[in-house]
Structure 1
C-alpha cells in the first residue's frame, strides 16, 4: 500500500469528521479565554475528562451580550472543524450562552458589578435636581408615546420651562451608541438644566440599549442632572442605576423634573392670607419685646444711679475724714506765721504775732512764751 502524505491523511480525517458530525451543542467550562485585537474569540471548552479548542469569529463574537470569562459554564453551538496546519480539531462557534442563566441577565450582572466597583451607583455622586429648571431636554424617540406623555405633563405642571426633544433610536442595533450621542448633545445645549432619558415599556430585549455600557458612561458624564424613566415600574436598567434620579415611568420623570404650578399657586395664595396676620403677630411680639427692654433699661439705670450715689457718698465720707477741717472739728488748730504753717516752737520768738485757725474762725495771738520739747 502506497503511503499517504500528511496532507492526504489530514484531509481524509477532516472530511470524515466534518461530514459525520453536523452542528452540535456542547456544554462545558471556559478557560484560556482570549479576545484578540482582530475581534475573534479563542478559548478552551473543557469538562473533568476532556477539552476542545473553540473559536468564534468576530462577526459572531461582537454580538455576544455577556463577557466570556475563565470558569464560566456555557453551552456552545457550532461545527467541528479540522485545522490542517496544526493537525488539530476545533469547534467553530455560531452561538454561546451561559448555562443556567440567560445571556442578557448575565450581561446585566457583569456590567452592574463593573460599574458598581467604579462607584457609578454611589449616592454621593447623585446630583440634586434644579427647583425651577429653565430648559429640559428629552432624549427619546420623537414619535413615541413616551415623549407625548412627558410633554403633556411638563405643560400641565409648569409653563415656565422650555422643552426640547433630542431624537434617538431607543431599541435595536446601534441604539446604544445613538442614545449615548444624544445624551452628549443634550448636556451641551445652552440653558439646559436637566435631561430626561425616557422610553415606554417593552421586553428585556427592547429595553436592552439602556443596559449597555456606552449609555451608562454617557449618563455618568452628562454635565447636568439626568432623570431616567425607562419602561414600567418593574423595569430596572443600568441607566436607571447611574442616573441622578430614577423614575418609574416617563410621565413620572417629567413630574420629577419640574414643580407643580398648582401647588405653588396654592402656597402663594395661602401665604398671602397668612402674611398680614403673621406681620401683626410679629409687630405685637416686637412691641412687647421693646416694652420689656425699656423696663429693663430703666430698672438698670436706676440701679446704676443708686450704686453711683452710694459710691459717691462713700468716697465723700473718706474725703471728708481726710480734710483738715474735719481735724479741726475734733479740737485741733492750725497756727501760721504769715503764710507758713508752724510745726516747731523754735520757728517763732517771744513777741511774734501768729494766726491760729480753729474749727470755726481764727484768732491773732502774741507769743508770750515758747517751750520746746526735749529730745
Structure 2
C-alpha cells in the first residue's frame, strides 16, 4: 500500500484547525484583560477551546506509528531537535525583546517576582510548553514503537504512565541541570514552570500510538478504526467520569497536571470528537479552506513557533493583558495574517535554498 494512502484526512484537518485555534487562544491569553477572558462569552469559549491539547497529542501518536520516519535514531534525533527548537523559541519570545528594549514593562511585575532579573528570565527561558513535551516524549516513544509490538502492551504503558503520574510528581535530586530534565518529566517546579510534564501528558500520545498500531493491523481501514475509537471513547468516559467528579482532588487537580482519572476522561472525549470529525470529513469535498488546513497541518511546528514569537513580541506594542475583547478580536485577525505571512516567507526561503525541513512533529 502506498504511503500516502495511510494518511487520515480527518487528522490533517484537525491539526490544521489546531494551528488557527492556537493563534486565537494565545492571542487572547496574552492581550485580553481578566474580564475579557472570563466574563465575556467569546473569551470563555476561546478558553474552553484551549482545553483541546489532548486532541493534538493523540493525533501525534497515531501519525507517529504510520510516519515514514520509523527508525529509533530518527525519533531520538527529532526529539533533540525539538528540545533545541523549544529553547530557541523561548529565547526569542522572552529574552530577545529585553535585549532590544521592546519588552513590556508590566510583564515581570504582573507575576510579582523578586530577585535578580537574570534569574527571572532564566525561568522564562526554561518554561515547559508543548514543544518540550513533544521533544521529551520522542526520546521515549521511539523505544516503545521499536520494542513493544502488541498494541495492548502499548496501551498498558500509556495507562500506567497516567496511573503513576501523581505519585512521581515532584521527583528531584537538587542538581540544577538534571533537575530541569526531571522538571520536564515529573513537574517539580524547579527551575521553571512546566505546563505539560511528560507524566501524565505522554499518556495521550501513547494512547494515539495504540490506535496507530490498530490502524496498521486493520490494514489501514479508516472507518473501522474510527468505529473502534468511538466505542473506546465512551468506555473511557464511563471509567473516567466517576474518578474526576467524585475523586477530583487526586484524579483531576487542574487541567495542566491532571491525575489518572482526568487522563482517561479527557482521552475518552477526545476519541469521540475524532470520530465526529471523521464523519464530517468524509462528506467534505476538497476546497480552498480544506487546502488551507492541510497547509497548516504540514507546517504545524514552524507555525507554532512563529505565532508564539510574534505574539510575545507584540506585548511591547499592545501591552500585556490590558485589552478589551473587541481589540483582541482585531489582534487575532492580525496575528493570523502575520503568522501565515511569515510561513510563506519561510517556504520561499526554503525553496530558494532547496533545504528540507529539519523538524517535524506530526508528519
TM-score bin, normalised by smaller chain: under 0.3
**Which structure has the larger Rg?**
1
Higher relative contact order (CA 8 A, sep 6+): 2
Q: Which has the higher helix share?
A: 2
